[in-house]
Amino acid sequence: MKPLVPADQAAVEAFWRGSGFTGPVPDAWAFGDHAELADELLALVLAGTKTATASALWEIEADGDPVPRTGDLSIVLDGAGHPHAVIRTTQVRVVPFIDVDAEHAYLEGEGDRSLAHWRTAHELYFRRSASDERAYDPAMPIVLERFELVTSAD
- Written as one string, the DSSP assignment of 97-140 is GGG--HHHHHHHT-TT--HHHHHHHHHHHHHHH--SS----TT-
pLDDT of residue 62: 85
pLDDT digits (tens, 9 = 90+) for 17-45: 999 999 999 999 999 988 999 999 999 99
Region 103-117 average pLDDT? 98
Residue 86 lies in a domain: yes
Q: How many domains does the chain have?
A: 1
Q: Is the pTM of this model over 0.85?
A: yes
Residue 35 lies in a domain: yes
Residue 94 lies in a domain: yes
Q: State the Cα–Cα distance between residues 127 and 76, nearest whole angstrom.
A: 23
Residue 33 lies in a domain: yes
Q: Is the pLDDT of residue 118 over 80?
A: yes
Contact (Cβ atoms closer than 8 angstroms) between residue 7 and residue 83: yes
Q: State the Cα–Cα distance between residues 150 and 59, nearest whole angstrom.
A: 26
Q: Is the pLDDT of residue 4 over 70?
A: no
Residue 1 lies in a domain: no
Give the CA radius of gyration of the chain: 15
Region 6-24 average pLDDT? 89
pLDDT of residue 128: 85
Neighbours of 127 (CB within 10 A): 10
pLDDT digits (tens, 9 = 90+) for 66-79: 999 999 999 999 99
Region 111-119 average pLDDT? 97
Q: How many CA atoms lie within 13 A of 62 on its CB side?
A: 14
For residue 73, the 8-state DSSP code is E
Identify the CATH number of the domain in which residue 42 sits.
3.10.400.10
Residue 126 lies in a domain: yes
Residue 113 lies in a domain: yes
| CA dihedral sign, ordered 14, 16, 19, 24 | negative
Which range marks the domain in which residue 104 is found?
A: 9-152
Region 108-135 average pLDDT? 89
Residue 135 lies in a domain: yes
